[in-house]
């Protein structure tokens, strides 16, 4: 008898992306947003086959895109046997239900995709609790679509179908679980607060920035530790704290979760306790991927998030990372002869608009010593102000 072999490898899901170009967005911006969404799909383990866009004054209330565009997506999904369709904005429960009925495949929006990545990356009890809480808060208004097979049978008193009661039961269970998780988070917060109190004697520095700009690589470089770093979005989810000593000054360096455009509000709320490291830091190191064509938008997103956290007025050093990967043509800079040097960066508008600023390549160890010296000066300044009679520095 001939032996049968079965392929047990997990099949990579194939995805289609959908975005709407509103009057206050350009096509170039939407293209960049969809590229970021494609990166999110890749991080989640999927593969993007095609992207669809449509110009609209505002997304359609019922189906997000127009019916003609939805038919076009439906034909492509059917002919190419696509596994899922990912939308660049958060879909309302009714939009999700209508699109699912029409396309008959898995439908995800940006929030759901980010939650999925977060769930896969969470390591500590705190991160797992935060992600679970955010997932349940996202699921709560979308319960109806999970119970369409238990529809109401008839109207009137005493004729309520099993679907209604099941939804009510599920809603109550989810609300109970949400309150339980919130209590658990309060307990974890109290434990973390105790840990932070024990660290108060040392100066605290926090790495902040957009996701995938090289924060963990800089953390490893400064602290000589092995924090997980990868060319994927949200490689870091749990805050990592390391003690670093430059010359004779010790301080604590923390690596935090990266920010992203259109980060779901309930996710920001759930992760506020993780971002306490940012709120309580003495110095912020804002890491920017200078090689990214739209790094200015990323700086804006980070500053807006820091403003929401009440941390925008802190002492901040802007570190422009990945100078080795910088391509002038991506930034509409006309360089005819020689490549851009470190001196060119130092005299650029980037340095003038973001003082103090430093330009480095963490992977190539370029200009790292100047960065260490700058950081040392700032930490020493805070240390001297806090402990004026400390013999450590003299």
Residue 189 annotated as binding site = no
Residue 276 annotated as binding site = no
Residue 345 annotated as binding site = no
Residue 324 annotated as binding site = yes
Residue 234 annotated as binding site = yes
Residue 287 annotated as binding site = no
Residue 79 CA, distance from chain mean position: 33
Residue 235 annotated as binding site = yes
Q: 21 with 65: CB under 8 angstroms?
A: no
Q: What angle do CA 188, 208, 125 make, to 5 degrees?
A: 20
**3-state SS class at 111:** helix
Supply φ then ψ for residue 372, to 5 degrees: -60, -45
Residue 255 annotated as binding site = yes
Residue 211 annotated as binding site = yes
CA distance 238 to 124: 7
Can you read off the two tokens belonging to residue 207?
């790495």
**3-state SS class at 205:** strand
CB atoms within 10 A of CB 379: 23
Residue 321 annotated as binding site = yes
Residue 346: C-alpha distances to residues 218, 303, 319 (Å) = 20, 22, 12
Secondary structure tally for the chain: helices H, strands E? 13, 10
Residue 216 annotated as binding site = yes
Q: Which residue has the tokens 């992760």?
A: 271
Residue 362 annotated as binding site = yes
Residue 212 annotated as binding site = yes
Report CA dihedral (354, 358, 363, 369) to the nearest 10 degrees: -160
Residue 209 annotated as binding site = yes
Binding residues: 209-216, 234-238, 255-258, 321-324, 361-363
Binding residues for GTP: 209-216, 234-238, 255-258, 321-324, 361-363
Binding residues for Mg(2+): 216, 236
């Amino acid at each position: 008898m001939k032996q049968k072999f079965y392929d047990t490898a997990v099949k990579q899901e194939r995805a289609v992306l959908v975005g709407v170009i509103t009057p206050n967005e350009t096509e170039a911006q939407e293209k960049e947003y969809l590229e970021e969404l494609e990166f999110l799909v890749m991080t989640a383990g999927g593969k993007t086959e095609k992207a669809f866009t449509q110009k609209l004054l505002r997304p359609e209330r019922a189906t997000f895109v127009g019916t003609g565009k939805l038919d076009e997506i439906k034909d492509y999904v059917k002919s190419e046997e696509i596994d899922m369709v990912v939308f660049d904005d958060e879909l309302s429960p009714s939009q999700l239900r209508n699109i699912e009925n029409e396309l008959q495949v898995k439908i995800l929006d940006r929030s759901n995709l980010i939650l999925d990545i977060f769930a896969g990356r969470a390591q500590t009890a705190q991160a797992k609790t935060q992600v679970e809480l955010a997932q349940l808060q996202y699921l709560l208004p979308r319960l109806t679509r999970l119970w369409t097979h238990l529809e109401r049978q008839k109207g009137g008193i005493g004729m309520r179908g099993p679907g209604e009661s099941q939804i009510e039961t599920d809603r109550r269970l989810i609300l109970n679980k949400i309150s339980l998780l919130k209590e658990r988070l309060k307990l974890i917060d109290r434990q973390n607060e105790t840990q932070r109190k024990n660290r108060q004697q040392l100066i605290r520095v926090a790495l902040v920035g957009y996701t995938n700009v090289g924060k963990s690589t800089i953390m490893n470089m400064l602290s000589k530790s092995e924090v997980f770093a990868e060319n994927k979005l949200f490689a870091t989810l749990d805050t990592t704290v390391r003690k670093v000593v430059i010359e004779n000054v010790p301080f604590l360096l923390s690596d935090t979760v990266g920010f992203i455009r259109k980060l779901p509000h309930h996710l920001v709320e759930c992760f506020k306790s993780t971002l306490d490291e940012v709120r309580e830091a003495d110095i912020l190191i804002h890491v920017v991927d200078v090689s990214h064509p739209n790094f200015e938008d990323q700086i804006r997103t980070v500053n807006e998030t820091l403003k929401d956290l009440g941390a925008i007025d802190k002492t901040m050093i802007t570190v422009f990372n990945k100078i080795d990967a910088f391509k002038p043509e991506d930034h509409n800079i006309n360089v005819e002869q020689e490549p851009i040097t470190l001196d060119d960066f130092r005299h650029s508008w980037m340095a003038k608009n973001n003082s103090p600023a430093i330009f480095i390549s963490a992977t190539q160890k370029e200009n790292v010593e100047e960065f260490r010296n700058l950081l040392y000066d700032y930490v020493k300044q805070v240390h001297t102000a806090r402990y004026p009679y400390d013999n450590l520095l003299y």
